[in-house]
Structure 1
């Protein structure tokens, strides 16, 4: 495969880039052929191998334009009158694909193939993906190999970013080694592991009702609760379900306390916490019949929207039913909030979310996958109450157990359980991306030094 890649013409390379982008687009909603994630990026790696730094950079950029352009059309619905903003955002994200091509091209000046180039390619991919997803100003963690693939046992060890690195590593080994069977065998192992059934840590026992309605009245939310005749332990509202400060609004707080008393349940509600100078926090408030037990402020407000001031603390709320984490919507697009809550003792995650109706079905389905990976990383039950998106129950292995139809008002009655202990990822696995960044940058410095020596 290495010799094949070295002898490709530019137009054939462009064809491989297009094929890779087409396969990658098919991985995500509305197509959702998740197992294609194992091979979707291999044609891109073929196209980049055996070419110059300049060509590799440009091919990487082209792949990014095709991939993000083919998956992010729903952003036009989000921005509405500013739908043109989709184009510069696609170019910004494609820039990171170009950065991968640039680094990979530089590495090829040192290593023409073999395991060193393969390992570098995987680590460099992981570094660029992590920087784009977690460290860059416009953090965007969607459309990656790890996110496209099904959550599995290894997700609880290396996380979604680690899954990307493994997929790219085995793809690189197919190309860079003279005997490609090793890399192919690695991809087959990843596929087979995803089919191994995993036992859920404990039998679900807590009864939770998740409400799905976008910016409804408190009367409407109470109607949805009343439609459930079962006993309820927790009532979970969507994000911004109550657009007032419950600390300051005695009337609304009392209504929720009365609901908690009537159903003998906790209430978790998306609300806001008002600050000085017209600012606010986007908040998840936990109440019982006696008042507020605790509040989480959204750590990751949505870019370009008036979504509140950035919260700095990610801790669970201790209740009579256990320690509950309530990261809000966009908090779950990133690994840190859920991980820190799990590390602080969160035994389950009950999540208020939004996904506005006008954002469209494709956005809803794409976003719903991130919660599955957070559940698998942390080894916890997740119940998500979305305004019009995917209200869903996810078990600690990342399997979606139940969900409501999107775009419709309703209530999902579900059972979750308390899970203690920490996954390997929660304890130490999250450190891996920092190692990828350090090692790949050191390798690039070495390659640049060797390149300068030749000159």
Structure 2
């Protein structure tokens, strides 16, 4: 009955496309987490009998469906704020989505060519889960990476959330892929009693462990809660870099802060000061004195220029601390086209999208120190940086509180900001630390160490969010070991599959 799904042809390709298209419904703002298992299970099912080239096409259909449905907000950025025509914005978005689909095409081709073990359903499921994770890791690294819509994020409110402090979003993704493949293969395992029960145990154990570990405290308070005020200016993106709007924006953040309650931490979003730091020294000095008078730490985003190690004067997207805080952090993970233009000698000047304001930032150096505020270490993330699990874990391990500032106006009223928030919540859960998230137009929140939003300021509203964040100490297993134990396991599983497949061909 299911043979039409697994054989070559457009019916199976269409099913793969639909399977990918439903996967974003497992993520924010929909959060129908069982669809993650269903989506991956359908892909696994329709790859069972294909040759490598056929599998590549089917995998691409799945990836295209996933990103067309889940990252269509790219069109908003290109059309609404990149001044591209609807036709050109559609074409660029289509190219972007089609390119991302190639990651699943590559995974599927490798699966069909070297890894698949149809004669051993249990080993086959394990190898598929390992390859799925390898695809996510590769996608988060290749050409600076696009670590969006990792399967594990779907479980932030699901039964597997308790695994995040143990192995991060990676472990949850692995378990989801393994579970999906095991469900498909259970019927094939049924004639072999011992293998069937082994498969059933392997299927149920991670879910039971995830439930058992929910709300487990992996870290401990390092001090009393700090009072927090996060300012959301709600400045429209088309006004953000308008020189005629500069004074109005500076006055906006100043006045909102002057009228705010006295708090320990006052946080402004990414580039809240939309002018180079050395051109706003007078304004920054006023805010520094204000924060010192209140015994507050004020942390804000501001672009700056300084010489790099080669002595070249470069521009950086930065966070600075003033008042009862100190330190400067230079953004390391830059957004292509938004903050730098790949192949800029070829692309700049072609269309307005390749000449966006502030699209010539340089990458900050690695191994920067955390910010200090009220005597505590603050791990800073600027916008896109919070979506990189391993990068974030490095900074989180050397901190007491997490802080991310962003300007999500680029997403418009799409689902992008809520997906971005979900990934920030996962970083808090993985590290067992409070996170303060200050954005230009939402979503501004305070997140507890279990990844739950405690205070929320609605999108597209101007205001100040008040809350508390407790400094935490100790390391979760994930912060201690990162991805390496799981990576070793996946390498062994894939090596085992490759070796077994080669041996089978020689016998």
What's the TM-score, normalizing by structure 1?
0.89
Stretch moving more, 308-317 or 279-288: 308-317
Give the aligned length. 446
Is 1:381 the counterpart of 2:460? The answer is no
Deviation at 1:408, TM superposition (A): 1.6
- For 1:174, the equivalent position in structure 2 comes to 183
Deviation at 1:338, TM superposition (A): 2.3
Deviation at 1:126, TM superposition (A): 0.5
d(CA) in 2 for partners of 1:62, 1:188: 29
- For 2:263, the equivalent position in structure 1 comes to 232
**What CA deviation, in whole Å up to 9, does each residue of 1:143-199 have, x standing for no partner?**
1210222162210111112210111012112223414644653575377458x4445
d(CA) in 2 for partners of 1:286, 1:387: 18
d(CA) in 2 for partners of 1:109, 1:184: 19
Q: Matched residue of 1:120: which SS?
A: helix
- For 2:344, the equivalent position in structure 1 comes to none
Deviation at 1:391, TM superposition (A): 0.5
Q: Matched residue of 1:240: which SS?
A: coil
- For 2:403, the equivalent position in structure 1 comes to 350
Stretch moving more, 184-193 or 46-55: 184-193
| Change in CA separation of 1:440 and 1:273 when aligned onto 2, cut-off 3 Å | farther
Q: Matched residue of 1:154: which SS?
A: helix
Is 1:98 the counterpart of 2:105? The answer is yes
- For 1:300, the equivalent position in structure 2 comes to 333
d(CA) in 2 for partners of 1:33, 1:259: 46
- For 1:263, the equivalent position in structure 2 comes to 294
Structure 1 residue runs of 5 or longer lacking an equivalent are none
Contact (CA 8 Å) 1:127, 1:436: kept in 2 or not? no
Contact (CA 8 Å) 1:7, 1:50: kept in 2 or not? no
d(CA) in 2 for partners of 1:219, 1:66: 45
Deviation at 1:361, TM superposition (A): 3.2
Deviation at 1:138, TM superposition (A): 4.6
Q: Matched residue of 2:318: which SS?
A: strand
Deviation at 1:438, TM superposition (A): 3.9
Q: Matched residue of 2:472: which SS?
A: coil
d(CA) in 2 for partners of 1:7, 1:68: 22
d(CA) in 2 for partners of 1:53, 1:32: 33
**What pairs with 1:158-169 in structure 2 (closer than 5 Å)?**
158-169=167-178
- For 1:250, the equivalent position in structure 2 comes to 281
- For 1:333, the equivalent position in structure 2 comes to 387
Is 1:275 the counterpart of 2:306? The answer is yes
Is 1:212 the counterpart of 2:211? The answer is no
Q: Matched residue of 2:162: which SS?
A: coil
| Change in CA separation of 1:97 and 1:109 when aligned onto 2, cut-off 3 Å | closer
| Change in CA separation of 1:373 and 1:323 when aligned onto 2, cut-off 3 Å | same
- For 2:152, the equivalent position in structure 1 comes to 146
Structure 2 residue runs of 5 or longer lacking an equivalent are 190-195, 241-247, 339-358
Computed over aligned residues only, the root mean square deviation of the Cα atoms, in angstroms, reads: 2.8
d(CA) in 2 for partners of 1:264, 1:403: 25
Deviation at 1:204, TM superposition (A): 6.4
| Change in CA separation of 1:8 and 1:125 when aligned onto 2, cut-off 3 Å | closer
